[in-house]
Amino acid sequence: MKDQVIPKATAKRLPLYYRYLRILHHSGKQKVSSTELSDAVQVDSATIRRDFSYFGELGKRGYGYDVEALMNFFAKTLNDDQMSNVALVGVGNLGSALLKYKFHQSNSIRISAAFDVNKDIIGRILDGIPVYPLEDMAEQIRLQEIDIAILTVPAEHSQPIVDELVRAGIKGILNFTPARLHAPKQVLIQNVDLTNELQTLIYFLHSNANVEAE
Ligand code: ATP
């Protein structure tokens, strides 16, 4: 891989490409043209070529892309060739739904531990995942070598939990709370505010603004 920074927009599209390549591979397809790929993932082919160019020479001109080679390449790039254990903090409505979710795009992401303060669920195994008391969070994260945490606690409790996650060595946080969190800059925080997303969608539906595809 070339030693350069990959733009965030490109990085966000990689799972999309990877997912489609897996589908193609499972259906026995050996090569795919950039037009086919473009139609399937709904990203224009110039963008695809630019995205791929960050990773060096991935295809041959006039041949298209070798499905298996490209799939394996993205598996490696996305770390999907090794198991990533993920922690979930806050087993409320949203947290429980995520415990049930099979992360079907990937065979190698799994929530391996959940944490909560609610005595009714602590010590239970929900959807195959043990729920630990919050006090055990740092210890479990170190023991299980967990790098990523999903945050689904009430917003007002989120920052102290983030501070503790950081102390325990967490490297990335998927934040489902509406709170804007503070962490050292080497810790990546990805915000998923579902209410915000819906509001944005409603706004675009009701305005006549031309929505540009991301
Ligand atoms: P959601 O926001 O997912 O719809 P909810 O409305 O069911 O959840 P919330 O009050 O938002 O419930 O709490 C989410 C979960 O976070 C609950 O299971 C709650 O026990 C847990 N929780 C609350 N405070 C903390 C905390 N400080 N640390 C860990 N978990 C907490």
1 belongs to a structural domain: no
Mutate to test the pocket of ligand 1, among 93, 137, 162 (most ligand atoms within 8 A of CB): 93
Q: Is the domain of 94 the same as that of 69?
A: no
> What are 23's two structure tokens?
């589908």
**Domain count of the chain?**
2
In this prediction, residue 53 carries a pLDDT of 85
Q: Is the domain of 19 the same as that of 118?
A: no
Of 55, 77, 99, the domain-final residue:
77
> Which range among 6-10, 60-64, 68-72, 159-163 shows the weakest confidence by mean pLDDT?
60-64
Q: Tell me, in angstroms, the distance from the centre of ligand 1 to residue 138's CA.
A: 18
Q: Is the domain of 111 the same as that of 182?
A: yes
Q: Tell me, in angstroms, the distance from the centre of ligand 1 to residue 92's CA.
A: 5
In this prediction, residue 135 carries a pLDDT of 97
Q: Tell me, in angstroms, the distance from the centre of ligand 1 to residue 117's CA.
A: 8
> What are 178's two structure tokens?
């509406």
What average pLDDT is seen over the chain? 89
2 belongs to a structural domain: no
27 belongs to a structural domain: yes
pTM: 0.77
In this prediction, residue 213 carries a pLDDT of 47
- Half-sphere exposure at residue 41, Cβ-oriented, CA atoms within 13 angstroms: 26
What would the pLDDT profile of 179-195 be if each residue is shown by its tens digit? Answer: 999 999 999 999 999 99
Q: Is the domain of 55 the same as that of 113?
A: no
Backbone angles phi, psi at 134, to 5 degrees: -55, -35
Domain span at residue 30 reads: 8-77
In this prediction, residue 39 carries a pLDDT of 93
Q: Is the domain of 123 the same as that of 48?
A: no
176 belongs to a structural domain: yes
The mean pLDDT of 62-67, rounded to a whole number, is 83
In this prediction, residue 105 carries a pLDDT of 62
Mutate to test the pocket of ligand 1, among 89, 91, 99, 116 (most ligand atoms within 8 A of CB): 116
The mean pLDDT of 101-123, rounded to a whole number, is 88
Q: Is the domain of 90 the same as that of 185?
A: yes
> Which range among 78-82, 150-154, 160-164, 197-201 shows the weakest confidence by mean pLDDT?
78-82
What would the pLDDT profile of 148-161 be if each residue is shown by its tens digit? Answer: 999 999 999 999 99
Of 52, 77, 102, the domain-final residue:
77
Q: pLDDT-derived band of residue 1, with 50, 70 and 90 as boundaries? A: very low
Q: Is the domain of 116 the same as that of 182?
A: yes
In this prediction, residue 211 carries a pLDDT of 55
> Residues 65, 31: contact at Cβ < 8 Å?
yes
In this prediction, residue 55 carries a pLDDT of 79
- Where is pLDDT greater, at 214 or 17? 17
> What are 52's two structure tokens?
């791929």
In this prediction, residue 2 carries a pLDDT of 43
Q: Is the domain of 88 the same as that of 192?
A: yes
> What are 107's two structure tokens?
């065979």
The mean pLDDT of 63-80, rounded to a whole number, is 87
Q: Tell me, in angstroms, the distance from the centre of ligand 1 to residue 119's CA.
A: 12
27-33 long-range contacts (CB < 8 A, ≥24 apart) are 29/67, 30/66, 30/67, 30/68, 31/63, 31/64, 31/65, 31/66, 31/67, 32/64, 32/65, 32/67, 32/70, 33/64, 33/65
Closest CA to 109 of 66, 79, 137, 72: 79
Q: Is the domain of 66 the same as that of 90?
A: no
Q: Which residues are annotated as a binding site for NAD(+)?
A: 90-95
> Residues 29, 37: contact at Cβ < 8 Å?
no
What would the pLDDT profile of 86-107 be if each residue is shown by its tens digit? Answer: 999 999 999 999 999 987 666 6
Q: Is the domain of 113 the same as that of 166?
A: yes
